[in-house]
Amino acid sequence: MKKHLSTFLAALLLAALLAGCTTGGFKAMNYSENSGADYWTASYELFDGYKQRELTLSGDSAHSFEVEIQSNAGKLALSIKDSNGASLYNSSELPTSSFKVEAFGAGKYTIRFKAENHNGSYSVKWV
């Protein structure tokens, strides 16, 4: 029984580590968020404040973040940093757009959205 419990707890911990950690201080209206091991999406009528996610990418090959933004009103900023705090991407006012951000090698990355009375959605996928 203890072996099964240990295996279950190890699998649960691994899933939590792969999914990353989402933090933030924000107010929102009709906010819907989904996330998994390789994506993070949200749509809302109002988002004011910030949401941040830390994740770890493995392997020696290059990775990329595929970003999609829908901006109907307000301001939405995005920053993506590596484990050393070096900025891979930083924009203070994103229009409706789709783009890629390249990341090189394994490591911890931080994705942060900051909004000022923003109406719209965002989606980030990493490969």
Q: pLDDT band at 2, cuts 50/70/90?
A: low
- More confident position, 37 or 25: 37
Distances (CA, A) of 40 to 10, 60, 66: 24, 23, 10
110: which residues sit within 8 A by CB, 6+ positions away? 52, 53, 54, 79, 80, 81
- Domains, the chain, with CATH or none: 20-126 (2.60.120.260)
- Give the per-residue pLDDT at 105: 83
- Quote the pTM value: 0.79
